[in-house]
């Protein structure tokens, strides 16, 4: 989307949601899970301009409704409070009342207005929040800007995730250092269009909320919406960005000469988190990246890439280190993108297997060796135009079945 | 689609593709597979009016192209020859020449014109047919109308299928007994729109090819196109119907007073085969049927039913006998059908779990007991209109992963 060559974006290895100026976080054990931390918050020193994207499921859980209401007031947030273990979804009127109460309790605890608080929940669908534990937990939240506080927050938002997910990138705008930090959760029920995933991103950039929303939308389409673990979409998912403005650059908008630097840093943060989610897909042993070029449009390229990375048969072949490119053809053939079936090239890693839709001789041994790695890249060239796109996913393993055949029990 | 009450359709337990008057079959071991039969044929005493539906993949394998050419000449077929083990897909110019040669060799062997022969292949993509074996095999084919010959044919078309799939139904038209027999294969790469499945249906009904195509299209949409094993679509799939006309009823068309009897018997045959394919899905231990009512349209109902039955999370929950209706909500929410998120009812078997989108108390023990059975039915009422539809699939198990992580090796 952006020409990355002229833009300096640096990864901050130790960075997190508390690295941008003005942000603190916390995570506590409220007792919703047996022993792990299960309630977290990010707070900002000032009301932060914000932007958000939400699940496209027909069923949007109460916390999403309440968060949307908060943001609608003045497009600002000063705190976001998240619980794991219980999604507060399909919980009707009581669920909505509980989400409001979770917001009110948080606002009171942090001494800010209700509409400056966003709430999010993730976990089992159809159960009510244990409000006594939620409220007690909220009152234990003492946000700080330490690495430990970031880690507590990153842990508290997880469900079946095996690892915490964080990212941090910096760029320079108007001579000021701009930092973007993020945390995310997501492991199963992960698919394009905000499936079961939560993402919380902080930045000290000075940017108005409309511009932030525009940047976020563009960047989400090529990052979070391009990952899939199991083709499922959840009721609860959202990504929030809060911008404190404390870096004191001139206010960013698409007209700002260094706008692309901001978008690029935001994209780096989102992409990094998205790949971490894909790699930590339930039961996954490998990260799979599919790059499609030569499509009629970028949208077509992204469709084909997602179709391949979401194919159960491709995913099991990758798990089995089997260079079964026929399944890649199957997935491409099944997509709604424009495809000329006579001109397709396919490579796995650097090993080309199909040229002009014809099989090429290749070393099965080298292919197997490559597929036994943990980072698999599949390249497809449709030879129709200049459209390109990438998607990320993971392999489908025994453990995916194991985890999901016994999630609640 | 049809009011079944006034129509008499009888299942013929022992029936097969050779039960309708005029049909014979055969199956031999041509040496494409290690020891199993791998080449089969159905032949008719007369050129039979025919109809066909094909995969909607962008990549249609050479045998499909050749079969389409055959049918295009006069909408008649007298023989269909199928090999397993090799799909002859993504095989380019040579693949097309091989498919023509397979057709010519068959036509010569049976002493009929080339354009009265259809060919089909199923198996691994990207490998050329071993034509010496195919040709030798064709010359061993000696079709008869015995149960053993039907069984040989049913076996020869299988790939990872564990069981043969056949069905036979009878009805009466113009006082004449009309028989429809069918055989099918399909286990993995099974999804709506003619995924990796082959179906061969014979009937002695007297029906013109246009009417047969119309009946077939309508019936395919509610049967074969409503099954899914893994969301994959193949390059090779087709369903063929051949009508010998030897039952001597007055020629059938939608204007015939007993048209619905024929369509109903055809639907019974297709649905029976479709369910057998779903139940024999790779690694499956259970047949899952999803009935959706109250949709705005039948199309919407079918979309929702397919979405549920195709959900990896629903499939693993069924495998684990876990009454996790939240995943059914997840799948409904993700569908493109019109849904009011506040009025949905969900039952698993006779146990209602969601009413007006609110959880109901139910016995987890009884639900587990029900889900431990082998035939699971899920009911969803969208409470929006009169649209209804059904889809069939199976659970997702360790064995699915096992089979597909090592298919070629």
DSSP per position, B213-266: HHHHHHHHHHTGGGB-SSS---SS-EEEEEE--TT-PPPB-TTSTTHHHHHHHH
Domains A4-277 and A287-405 share a fold: no
Q: Residue A398: pLDDT band by 50, 70, 90 thresholds?
A: confident
Confidence of residue B375 (pLDDT cuts 50, 70, 90): very high
* Alpha-carbon gap, residue B167 to B11, rounded angstroms: 8
Residue A340: predicted pLDDT: 93
- B196 labeled part of a ligand binding site: yes
A272-284 confidence digits (pLDDT tens): 999 998 888 888 8
- Report, as an integer, the average pLDDT of B93-105: 97
Average pLDDT over residues B376-397: 95
Q: Given CB atoms, is A57 within the 8 Å cutoff of chain B?
A: yes
The confidence score (pLDDT) of residue A150 equals: 97
Residues paired with B39 in a beta bridge: B28, B83
Handedness of CA A277, A278, A281, A287 (dihedral sign): negative
Q: What residues of A are in contact with residue B329 (Cβ under 8 Å)? A: 59, 89-90, 125-126, 235
Under 8 Å CB-to-CB from B399, ≥6 apart: which residues? B282, B283
Tens digits of per-residue pLDDT, A11-41? 999 999 999 999 999 999 999 998 999 999 9
* Mean of the per-residue pLDDT values of chain B: 91
pLDDT band at A409 (very low <50, low <70, confident <90, very high): very low
Given a cut of 90, whether residue B347 has pLDDT beyond it is yes
CATH topology of domain B4-278: 3.60.70
Residue A343 contacts B where some CB pair is shorter than 8 Å:
no
Burial of B71 (0-12, 13-18, 19+ CB in 10 A): buried
Q: pLDDT of B150-181, one tens digit each?
A: 999 999 999 878 889 999 999 999 999 999 99
Active site members of A: 196
0.85 surpassed by complex ipTM: no
Residue count of chain A, please give it: 409
Q: What is the pLDDT of residue B90?
A: 85
Residue-level pLDDT at B230: 63
Q: Are A357 and B398 in contact (CB < 8 Å)?
A: no
H/E stretch holding A388: strand A387-394
| Weakest mean pLDDT among B97-106, B193-202, B244-253 | B193-202
pLDDT tens column, B288-324: 999 999 999 999 999 999 999 988 889 999 999 989 8
Distance CA B18, CA B255 (A): 28
Residue A4 has pLDDT above 70, yes or no: no
Per-residue pLDDT reduced to its tens digit, A345-356 = 999 999 999 999
With 90 as the cut, is the pLDDT of residue A229 above it?
no
Please say if the pLDDT value at position A326 is more than 90.
no
| pLDDT for the residue B23 | 97
Annotation says B122 is catalytic: no
Sketch the domain layout of chain B as residue ranges: 4-278, 287-405
Q: Which of B125, B331, B401 sits opposite A316 (nearest CB)?
A: B401
Region A372-376: what's the mean pLDDT? 95
The confidence score (pLDDT) of residue A80 equals 97
User: What pLDDT does B124 receive?
Assistant: 82
Sheet containing B351-355, strands listed edge to edge, beginning at the edge strand earlier in sequence: B358-359, B351-355, B345-348, B375-381, B287-295, B387-394
Beta carbons of B90 and B125 less than 8 angstroms apart: yes
Which tens digit of pLDDT belongs to each residue from A39-64? 999 999 999 999 999 887 888 889 99
pLDDT of residue A127: 87
Asked if the model's pLDDT at residue B9 lies above 90, the reply is yes
B192, pLDDT greater than 70: no
B45: closest CA among B243, B184, B217, B341? B243
Q: Residue A346 has what pLDDT?
A: 96
- Tell me the average pLDDT across B219-241: 81
Closest chain B C-alpha to A230 CA, distance in angstroms: 6
CATH number of A287-405: 3.10.20.340
Q: Are A269 and A302 in contact (CB under 8 A)?
A: no
Residue A402 has pLDDT above 50, yes or no: yes
**Other Cβ atoms within 10 Å of B295 Cβ, number:** 26
- Is the pLDDT reported for residue A191 higher than 50? no
Residue B126 pLDDT class (50, 70, 90 cuts): confident
**Which of A235, A324, A341 lies at the smallest CB-CB distance from B330?**
A235
What is the CATH number that goes with domain A4-277? 3.60.70.12
pLDDT at A125: 82
The answer, yes or no, to whether residue A232 has pLDDT greater than 90, is: no
Query: Residue written as tokens 């629903």?
Result: B314
Q: Which of B191, B330, B407 shows the shortest C-beta gap to A234? A: B330
CA–CA gap between residue B183 and residue B120 (Å, rounded):
14
Please give the average per-residue pLDDT across B371-392, as a whole number: 96
Average pLDDT of span A375-404: 92
């Amino acid at each position: 989307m952006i020409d990355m060559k002229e833009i300096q974006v640096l990864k901050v290895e130790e960075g997190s949601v508390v690295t941008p100026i003005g942000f603190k976080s916390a995570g506590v054990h409220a007792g919703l899970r047996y022993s792990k931390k299960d309630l977290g918050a990010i707070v900002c020193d000032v009301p932060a301009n914000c932007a958000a994207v939400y699940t496209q499921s027909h069923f949007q859980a109460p916390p999403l409704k309440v968060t949307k209401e908060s943001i609608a007031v003045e497009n600002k947030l000063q705190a976001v409070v998240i619980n794991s273990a219980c999604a507060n979804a399909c919980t009707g009127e009581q669920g909505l009342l509980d989400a409001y109460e979770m917001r009110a309790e948080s606002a009171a605890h942090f001494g800010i207005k209700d509409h400056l608080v966003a709430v999010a929940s993730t976990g089992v669908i159809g159960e009510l929040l244990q409000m006594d534990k939620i409220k007690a937990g909220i009152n234990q939240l003492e946000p700080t800007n330490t690495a430990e506080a970031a880690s507590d927050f990153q842990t508290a938002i997880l469900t079946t995730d095996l690892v915490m997910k964080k990212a941090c990138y910096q760029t320079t705008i108007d001579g000021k250092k701009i930092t973007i930090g993020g945390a995310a959760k997501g492991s199963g029920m992960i698919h394009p269009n905000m499936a079961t995933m939560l993402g919380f991103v902080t930045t000290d950039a000075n940017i108005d909320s409309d511009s932030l929303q525009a940047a976020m939308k563009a960047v989400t389409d090529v990052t979070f919406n391009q990952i899939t673990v199991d083709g499922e979409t959840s009721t609860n998912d959202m990504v929030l960005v809060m911008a404190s403005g404390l870096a004191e650059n001139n206010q960013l908008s698409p007209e700002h000469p260094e706008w692309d630097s901001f978008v690029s840093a935001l994209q780096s943060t989102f992409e990094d988190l998205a790949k971490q989610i894909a790699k930590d897909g339930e039961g996954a042993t490998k990260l799979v990246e599919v790059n499609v070029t030569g499509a009629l449009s970028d949208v077509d390229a992204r469709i084909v890439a997602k179709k391949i990375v979401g194919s159960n048969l491709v995913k099991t072949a990758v798990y089995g280190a089997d260079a079964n490119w026929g399944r890649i053809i199957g997935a491409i053939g099944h997509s709604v993108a424009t495809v000329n079936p006579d001109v397709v090239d396919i490579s796995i890693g650097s090993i080309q297997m199909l040229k002009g839709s014809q099989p090429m001789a290749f070393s099965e041994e080298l292919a197997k060796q490559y597929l036994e790695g943990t980072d698999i890249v599949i390249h497809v060239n449709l030879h129709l135009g200049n459209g390109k796109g990438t998607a990320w996913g993971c392999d489908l393993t025994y453990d995916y079945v194991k985890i999901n055949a016994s999630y609640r029990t």
